[in-house]
Amino acid sequence: MEKTVAPDKLARQLREDGFCVIANMADENLLNKTRACVEKALAEYDQEHRENTKAPGSLIDSNFYPELADLIGNPRALAALGQMGLEDIKFWKAVIISKPPGGPRLYWHQDCIMWQDARAYSDRAPMVFLMYYLEDTRRENGCLRLLPGSHKHRHALHNMGEAHTKDINRMDNPDDPRFLDYPNEVDVPVKAGDLVVGDARMFHATQENASDEQRTVITIWFHPFYSDLQEDTQSWIHEAFHRQHETWPADALEKISTLIPDYQGAAPPMELTRTPDERLRSLGN
C-alpha cells in the first residue's frame, strides 16, 4: 500500500527541492485513454520530426490532441495541488514525449521562459511542470533525472545554451556537456500514474532508454498564482494558450475550464526570456 505524503510536506519539497512526487494520481482508465491518444499522435509523427527531436523523443504539442483534456483537467491532481496551496492555476500547453527503445539521454535544461518576471526570483514558481509517465520508469528505460535545488541558484548549466534549440534537440553534438552527469543529481523512478510536480526553473534531464519498449511522459505546464504574474507574462500565456488550442472542441475546453488563461488587460505579450539575469544568485552568494 502506497504511503500518502501530507500536502504541506509536498508543498515544502516543491519549494525547497524543486519537486515532489504524488503517488497514484491517474487511474488505469485515464492512463488507457491517454495511451490511446499517444498511439494516434505517434502514428501521425513523421520521420523529419523524429530526426529533429532525437534527444527528447517525440515532443508533440497538445495543439491537435484534445483527448489530453482529461489528463490536463484531472480533478484528482487539481485537488492535490489545491491542498498544497497552489491557487489560480492556468494552463499553457502539454507535450507528448515518447522515448523509443534505444532513445538517448535528454540533455539538462530548465523550462522557465519568463525570467523577465520578478516572480522567477521568488519562492513562488511562475511555472510548474506536471509529468505523468504512462509506464513504470527506472534507470534502464529512461527515468527522469533532477538537480534538486537548482531552481534557486545560478548553475554552470545556465551558461551552456537554451533548451529546445534545433541543434541540441537533433543531438548534433553528442559530446555537448549538457548530456553529462553532474554532482548531486538524482534519478526519479516512478510508477505509471504517479505525478511528478516540478518547479520549471529546476534543471532536469533523463537517462537513456536502454529497454526494448517505448517510454512516454505527458508534460503539462501550469502557472500557479497566474493573476500575480507580471501583466506581460499573463498576456503571453493567454495568447499562446488560445492560439495553440483554437481547434479544441467545446467539450474538451469544458474539461479544463478553470485552467484557461483569461487575461483582460492591454499589455503586450512578454519577450520569451529563457535565461535568468543577475537576480539569480550563485550558491553561497
Three-class SS state of 146: strand
Residue-wise burial string across 102-116, b where 16 or more C-beta atoms lie within 10 A, e elsewhere: ebbbbbbbbbbbbbe
Measured from the Cβ of residue 196, the count of other Cβ atoms closer than 10 Å reads 22
Judged by CB, which is closer to ligand AKG: 81, or 94?
A: 94
Name 254's Cβ contacts closer than 8 Å, sequence gap at least 6.
none
Judged by CB, which is closer to ligand AKG: 221, or 263?
A: 221
Which residue, among 110, 106, 108, has the nearest Cα to 55 in the 3D structure?
Answer: 106
Q: Is 217 in the site for ligand AKG (CB under 6 A)?
A: yes
Measured from the Cβ of residue 124, the count of other Cβ atoms closer than 10 Å reads 14
Cβ of residue 266: shortest distance to ligand AKG, in angstroms? 32
Judged by CB, which is closer to ligand AKG: 206, or 235?
A: 206
Judged by CB, which is closer to ligand AKG: 91, or 263?
A: 91
Judged by CB, which is closer to ligand AKG: 95, or 259?
A: 95
Helices 75-83 + 7-16 axis angle, to 10? 80
* Residue 41 CA: distances (Å) to CA of 60, 62, 217: 7, 10, 13
Cβ of residue 285: shortest distance to ligand AKG, in angstroms? 27
Among positions 94, 106, 114, 147, the unique one binding ligand AKG when judged by CB under 6 A: 106
Measured from the Cβ of residue 64, the count of other Cβ atoms closer than 10 Å reads 15
**Residues 63-102 within binding reach of ligand AKG (CB under 6 A):** 95, 97
Judged by CB, which is closer to ligand AKG: 119, or 215?
A: 215
- DSSP E strands, the chain: 19-22, 60-61, 90-99, 128-133, 144-146, 186-188, 195-199, 204-206, 215-223
Judged by CB, which is closer to ligand AKG: 97, or 232?
A: 97
Cβ of residue 222: shortest distance to ligand AKG, in angstroms? 13
Q: How far apart are CA 54 and CA 45, in angstroms?
A: 13
Residues that contact ligand AKG, how many (by CB under 6 A): 9
The contact mask relative to ligand AKG for 118-157 (x = CB under 6 A, - = no) is: --------------------------x-------------
Q: Is 204 in the site for ligand AKG (CB under 6 A)?
A: yes
User: What would you report as the CA-atom Rg of the chain, rounded to the nearest whole angstrom?
Assistant: 18
Find where cell 511528478 sits: 196
Cβ of residue 159: shortest distance to ligand AKG, in angstroms? 19
Among positions 62, 206, 214, 235, the unique one binding ligand AKG when judged by CB under 6 A: 206
Cβ of residue 61: shortest distance to ligand AKG, in angstroms? 11
Cβ of residue 284: shortest distance to ligand AKG, in angstroms? 27
Task: Give the residues lining the site for ligand AKG (CB under 6 A).
Answer: 95, 97, 106, 111, 144, 204, 206, 217, 219
